Structure 1
Amino acid sequence: MFSIKVEGYFSSAHNLRAYYGKCEELHGHNWKVEVVIASKTLDKIGMLMDFKIIKAELNRVLDKLDHKYLNETPYFKKINPTSENIAKFIYDALIPKFKKLKSVTVWENHTCCATYER
């Protein structure tokens, strides 16, 4: 199995609903997002997919989150903007374009991340 990974970044603020601790307060992150595409086969020139195509689509999705208060974006008005749910949001936004999408990992800092995968 071959896999390729593309990273993207965005900055946003959020607070966690029904969470009793520091993260229930408004706070921000500089998020790192990793997208993994996987396939058993390569194209005729030996590539799984062109990185620039993935990067462009990922950036289009991340623009919806960048410099936003996530709790006020349409998707997260009723869904808690946890790292897990952010990973699923990005995955769901990318899967129509990338049928071979394996996973999306969202890092909220250097030591903590959440992954959504098929």
Structure 2
Amino acid sequence: MPACFEVYVETHFSAAHRLKGYPGDCARLHGHNWMVEVTVRCTQLDALGIGIDFRDVRTALKEAVADLDHQDLGEIPAFRAQNPTSENIARYLYRELSSKLDDASRRVSKVKVCETPGAGALYWEE
């Protein structure tokens, strides 16, 4: 089995959402301080012993959440046809980050999105 390293970077953003069709309070517009963690799996290290520079992951993540920060997520094109749930936000960020970070020796492994401390969703593709 080949060796793997996983590195991760965390950030946060603030945004509002509502869950259309939800039978409870979350159907009304409300906000969260969302926590995001992206994990990148690396199969090779460079000459310095780095699989991917934390700075590169942090920059890509910052760019990806910039479009979500201080927004009504239901108004963003990516979420007009689907509820902006933690699950759907995690999938959205996974795909955005994969397009920027993946190459032959590394790929986004998973994205974790929490809308409250201790409750969130993870997304990955196999």
Place the TM-score, normalised by the shorter chain, in its bin: over 0.9
Q: Unpaired runs of 5+ in structure 1? A: none
Q: TM-score, normalised by structure 2?
A: 0.91
CA RMSD of aligned residues (A): 0.8
SS in 1 for 2:100: coil
1:47 corresponds to which letter in structure 2?
Answer: I
1:52 corresponds to which letter in structure 2?
Answer: R
Matches within 5 A, 1:32-111: 32-99=35-102, 100-111=107-118
Matches within 5 A, 1:15-26: 15-26=18-29
Which deviates more from structure 2 when the two are superposed, residues 83-92 or residues 36-45?
36-45
Q: Unpaired runs of 5+ in structure 2? A: none
Number of paired residues? 118
2:8 corresponds to which letter in structure 1?
Answer: K
SS in 1 for 2:79: coil
Task: State the identity %.
Answer: 42
| Over 2 Å off, 4+ runs | none
SS in 2 for 1:41: coil
Q: TM-score, normalised by structure 1?
A: 0.97
Give the helix-richer structure, 1 or 2: 2
Alpha-carbon deviation of 1:97? Answer: 1.4
